[in-house]
Amino acid sequence: MKLDEIRRRYAGEWVLIEYDRLDDHLRVVEGRVLAHSPDRDEIYRRLRELKGRKKRLAVEFLGEIPEDVAVMLSILSASVQPS
């Protein structure tokens, strides 16, 4: 499923995606939704369950980030290459 369709279907939710394709900036272009929830912790629980079994995973938040919220990104495993 393309990311545009994922955004429409799961607007306002956190999604765990097994991606098939990334763009040159390592953004998800296409993939399969493994889990979705408005609760971020639920997505991270699912991510821990899959640790070591799936390699091409991304977590996306598909909603508005409030202006008073800071976002910090962390890369835990850096063996990512665009498709």
pLDDT at 71 exceeding the cut of 90: no
Q: What is the pLDDT of residue 80?
A: 47
The pTM score is 0.78
What percent of the chain is helix, strand and coil (3-state, nearest 5)?
20, 30, 50
Q: What is the pLDDT of residue 19?
A: 94
Report pLDDT digits (tens) over 18-69: 999 999 988 999 999 999 999 999 999 998 888 778 789 999 999 888 788 7
Whose CA is closest to 9, among 33, 27, 28? 33
